[in-house]
Amino acid sequence: MSKHTEVFEQTLALLGTLSEGLEYTSSLLEDGKADEALELVYDVLAGIESITNALKPYMAQFPDSNLNVLEVNMLEGFNKVIEIFKMHQETQLKSFFKNDLAAVFADWRIEIEKLLNMYILS
C-alpha cells in the first residue's frame, strides 16, 4: 500500500468519525446540553483541520475540485454555530446546526470521498 493510499484511507475513516461526532452533537443540542455540544464542535473542528492538513500536499492532483470553496463554506458555518452559541440562542442553534451546518459539512465530506475513492480505486 502506498503512503498516499494509506493517508487517503485514514482520511476517509476520520470523515466517518467526524460525521458521527456531528450526529452526536445534534442529539446533545436536542437534549439541551449545549455546553457539551460546543466542546464536541471544537473536537470536530480539530479533526477537520487534521484532514485539511493531510490533504494539502495532494491538492494539485485534484485541479478540478471545488474542495477549497466547500471548506470555506463549512468553516463559515462552524463560525456561525459558535456565534449563535455565544448569544445563547438555543432554538436558532439547533435549527442552524441541523439544517445548514449539516448540509455544508455533507457537501465537503462527499467531495473528499469522491476524490479520494477515485484515487484509491485507480
d(CA 37, CA 20): 13
d(CA 97, CA 104): 10
- 29: cell is 443540542
Structural domain count of the chain: 1
pLDDT digits (tens, 9 = 90+) for 4-21: 788 899 999 999 999 999
d(CA 101, CA 105): 6
pLDDT digits (tens, 9 = 90+) for 25-50: 999 999 999 999 999 999 999 999 99
What is the amino acid identity at position 82? I
Sequence-distant (≥ 6) Cβ neighbours of residue 7 within 8 angstroms: 54, 58
Q: How far, in whole angstroms, is CA 45 from its chain's centroid?
A: 7
pLDDT digits (tens, 9 = 90+) for 53-87: 999 998 888 888 899 999 999 999 999 999 999 99
Could you tell me the residue range of the domain that residue 53 belongs to?
3-121
d(CA 99, CA 80): 13
Model pTM score: 0.90
